[in-house]
């Protein structure tokens, strides 16, 4: 049977994109939350 390396690369590449994407999504939500918690500058 041929080795089908393209399919192997596609599977591992897809998993990297999904896990990396989830990691980035968590990081973005944490950044957004941190920005929300920053104290607002008081008016003069």
Q: What is the dihedral of CA 11, 24, 26, 14, to 10 degrees?
A: -10
Q: Report in angstroms how near the CB of residue 17 gets to another protein at its nearest.
A: 10
Query: What CA–CA distances, in Å, run from 6 to 12, 16, 17?
Result: 10, 15, 16
When asked if residue 1 is in the footprint of another protein (CB under 8 A), the reply is yes
Binding string, residues 15-34; x marks residues near another protein by CB under 8 A = x--xx--xx--x--xx--x-
* Residues at the site binding another protein, with contacts judged by CB under 8 A: 1-5, 7-8, 10-12, 14-15, 18-19, 22-23, 26, 29-30, 33, 36-37
């Amino acid at each position: 049977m041929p080795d089908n390396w393209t399919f192997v690369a596609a599977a591992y590449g897809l998993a990297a994109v999904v896990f990396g994407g989830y990691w980035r999504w968590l990081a973005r939500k944490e950044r957004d939350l941190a920005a929300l918690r920053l104290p607002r500058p008081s008016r003069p």
